Amino acid sequence: MCGIAGIMTPNGAPPDSDALGRLMQALVHRGPDGQGMHVAGGTGLVHTRLAIIDLETGDQPFLAGDGPAAETALVANGEIYNYIELRDMVIETPPTTKSDCETPLHLYLAHGMEFADYLRGMYAVAIYDSNRDRLVLTRDPFGIKPLYYAETDKGFVFSSEPQAMIKAGLVTAEANPQAVNQLLQLQFTTGTETAFKGVFRLLPGDTVAVEGGRIIERRRRPALPDGPPRPAANALLQLDEVLNDTIDVHQRSDVPYGMFLSGGIDSSVVLAMMARLNERPVRAFTIGFPGTKARDERDHARAVAEAVGAEHVEVDFTEDDFWSLLPAVVAATDDPAADYAILPTYKLARTVHEHGLKVVLSGEGGDEMFGGYGRYRRAMRPRLFGGRPMRQRGMLDGLGVLRDEGADWRAGIAAVEKVEATAGRTALQVNQAVDFADWLPNDLLIKLDRCLMAHGVEGRTPFLDPKMANFAYLLPDRQKVRRRHGKWLLRRWLQTGLPAADPFSRKRGFTVPVGEWMARRGKELAPLIAADPGISEACHPQAAGDLFKRLGSGHDNRRTKAAWVLLYYALWHRHHIRGLPAAGDAIENLAAGG
């Protein structure tokens, strides 16, 4: 895993070397093992490396070699899991290293803009084509790895994180009001626009060509196959084969790896298959919240880990952790995702790093791929029987907090719903596809990327794989949802593969007790939130503060979530827009004003 960035000037003049250096320095946390830079014509590429595969000769940028394309260069962030197969199948010119990330360069030379169609992995790739004076960017179809860009007077700028462009002085940190409204209502933002005005995401699966500092060509590789469900003969056997294959390739690494174990269905499936494929005990990390009302998953996770002989590491997340780590967590999530699961993810990543691991597998994507969410089941039911579309109500709707309570915050979701409702798809498939378009890349995967990369750890998601998608997404609805159970086929597999997981028992969803912790300091938080400049821009300050005064006075989960989003955003705006340090605990940050 790495950090990448670059500049293409509009007139072909060499890019500012100091700006390239600042881009590189801002991404060192993503790649502490090495740095590289390549400048040709009006384009400069930079790379910071986290060494995972080919530790000796895998430094980037990679160059095409001799001949007319000698100055053609590549920088990449991610892993190409099928790089061994690609060397034998589709690459005519042999790579000069054993790195997985050299493979896309040779594919591009042979196949042009279609090169990404061959890749199986998580990646953000930048190639400078010296023959055409063209910059090509691509991102994996699931959006596991991030990539951002800005078209400025100084040229076209791109980076693994928006904060790098801001620190390099290439983009101004100015809040995008429409995206902020989405964030406060959804806890994430949608589409190409980010919370920073003028900074855009490359969408999952996009490949773009840039010439003269402007995008001139764009093509898309979809994450999901099209068409209606199809009968699945021997579905359990097929699932076993797909799991064996995808988890096997996701373990390709020249450094030790572990996994996140919640004890839920998805992570238990990953653990069961890893235990089958590895001779040594799997190293599994689980977090819990002692002394709170939140369900502690560690007892169940411990039993699951013991059943396969895993080395189980248990981590406490306390109220002190909440207040002390929150500013650092917010600082790491420059593309904001106000999902309170970022808190335990951040501490788990730090623990993995302290145990000397650079790679961890995760169960992210299992719910989206196999229909696990309760909102899918609600969306499948007729309205007469309680059915309702997903995300019809925003976090702050009706609370009198937002200055603009219009429905524009849902425009991005509505546009995706229309696009994904293709002929033959069931209601379940449509809602899965909607989550794949925005919720997954712009909430769950941003959370995973930023929290892990803040500690120099690579996160891998074996459920998010083309072979898995081609199998799971086209399963009949009854193989995904049956009665009150989502992920029905995964549960059936786990019933045999790891019965200690007790896959058909009724389980509560994972939660973090932020409500308990905020309620104990609600009266202290209320005036700080009301006085915060970021909150005042988007909200009625008094109404925002009043939310915190009432925390703990009842069991209103909606107000608790609304208060959490406001607390997160106040800290985010303070650090990323106002440029103030994220030192000390959350209360100290807000009290410092500035």
Say whether both 349 and 458 belong to one domain.
Answer: yes
pLDDT (tens digit, 9 = 90+) per residue, 131-188?
999 999 999 999 999 999 999 988 999 999 999 999 999 999 999 999 999 999 999 9
Residue 221: pLDDT over 80: yes
3-state secondary structure of 127: strand
> Which of 133, 271, 155, 105 minimizes the C-alpha distance to 209?
133
Provide the pLDDT for residue 91.
Answer: 66
**Per-residue pLDDT tens over the stretch 496-535:** 999 999 999 876 667 899 999 999 999 999 999 999 999 9
- Indicate whether 329 belongs to any domain: yes
Same domain, 207 and 248: no
**Are residues 143 and 181 located together in one domain of the fold?**
yes
Q: Are residues 302 and 375 in the same domain?
A: yes
DSSP 453: H
Considering the domain boundaries, does residue 306 fall inside one? yes
What lies within 8 Å, CB to CB, of 368 at 6+ separation is 432, 435, 436, 439, 440, 463
**Residue 403 is assigned to a structural domain of this protein:** no
Q: In this structure, are 249 and 340 located in the same domain?
A: yes
Examine residue 320 and state whether it is found in any structural domain, yes or no.
Answer: yes
Q: What is the mean pLDDT of residues 224-251?
A: 95
Query: Which range (119-128, 223-232, 486-495) has the least confidence?
Result: 223-232
Domain termination site, one of 501, 522, 537 = 501
In a domain, 132, yes or no: yes
Q: With cut-offs at 50, 70 and 90, classify the pLDDT of residue 557.
A: confident
Distance, CA of 85 to CA of 573 (rounded, Å): 46
Same structural domain, 430 and 522: no
222 in helix, strand or coil?
A: coil
Least confident of 302-306, 422-426, 441-445: 422-426
Q: Indicate whether 585 pLDDT > 70.
A: yes
CA 515 – CA 566 distance, rounded (Å): 13
Whether the pLDDT of residue 23 is over 80: the answer is yes
Residue 334, classed as helix, strand or coil, is coil
Tell me the CATH number at 58: 3.60.20.10
Query: What is the span of the domain harbouring residue 569?
Result: 514-591
Q: Tell me, yes or no, whether 481 and 520 share the same domain.
A: no
The reported pLDDT for the residue numbered 70 is: 72
Q: Please tell me the distance from the alpha carbon of residue 189 to that of residue 528, in angstroms, as a whole number.
A: 25
User: For the purposes of burial, counting CB atoms within 10 Å of the CB of 525, is it exposed (0-12), middle (13-18) or buried (19 or more)?
Assistant: buried
Q: Is residue 258 a part of any domain in this protein?
A: no
48 closest CA partner among 6, 106, 111: 6
Find the mean pLDDT for residues 216-223.
97
- pLDDT, residue 379, reads 84
CA-based torsion, 76, 79, 84, 85: positive or negative: negative
Exposed, middle or buried by CB within 10 Å (0-12, 13-18, 19+), for 262?
Answer: buried
Give the model's pLDDT for residue 555: 66
Average pLDDT, stretch 484-490? 94
| CB-CB contact of 15 with 9 (8 Å) | yes
pLDDT of residue 405: 81
Is residue 409 scored above 90 in pLDDT? yes
Whether residue 45 contacts residue 65, with contact meaning beta carbons closer than 8 Å, is answered with no
- Are 303 and 203 members of one domain? no
pLDDT of residue 1 exceeding 70, the answer is no
pTM: 0.96
Q: What is the 3-state secondary structure (H, E, C) of 504-544?
A: CCCCCCCCCCHHHHHHCCHHHHHHHHHHCHHHHHHECHHHH
**Does residue 269 share a domain with residue 215?**
no
Residue 286 lies in a domain: no
Give the chain's domain count.
3
Q: Is the peptide bond before 61 cis (omega within 30 degrees of 0)?
A: yes
Least confident of 5-9, 124-128, 304-308, 381-385: 381-385
Closest CA to 65 of 42, 93, 41: 93
CATH label of the domain that carries residue 416: 3.40.50.620
Question: In this structure, is residue 319 part of a structural domain?
Answer: yes
Mean pLDDT score of the chain: 94
Percentage of the chain beyond pLDDT 90 is 85
d(CA 29, CA 350): 13
Say what the pLDDT of residue 263 is. 87
Average pLDDT over residues 243-258: 97
Taking CA atoms, 128 is separated from 72, 122, 172, 319, in Å, by 5, 20, 26, 48
Residue 509's pLDDT is 64
| Residues 434 and 518 both lie in one domain | no
Asked whether residue 528 falls in the same domain as residue 575, the answer is: yes
pLDDT, residue 92, reads 67
Considering only 311-315, 358-362, 376-380, which range has the smallest mean pLDDT? 376-380
DSSP secondary structure string for all residues of 477-498: HHHH-BTTBSSHHHHHHHHHH-
The answer for residues whose C-beta is within 8 angstroms of residue 123's C-beta and 6 or more apart is 76, 77, 78, 79, 80, 101, 104, 138, 139, 140, 144, 145
Indicate the SS3 state at residue 560: helix
Question: What residues pair up with 539 in beta bridges, in sequence order?
Answer: 402
330-345 confidence digits (pLDDT tens): 999 999 999 999 999 9
DSSP type of residue 442: I
Question: What is the arithmetic mean of pLDDT over 461-465?
Answer: 98
Model pLDDT, residue 154: 87
The answer to whether residue 309 scores a pLDDT higher than 80 is yes
Neighbours of 291 (CB within 10 A): 11
DSSP summary character for residue 14: P
Task: Indicate if 85 and 185 belong to the same structural domain.
Answer: yes
Residue 201 β-bridge partners: 148
Q: How many residues are present in the chain?
A: 594
Domain end residue (candidates: 501, 531, 546): 501
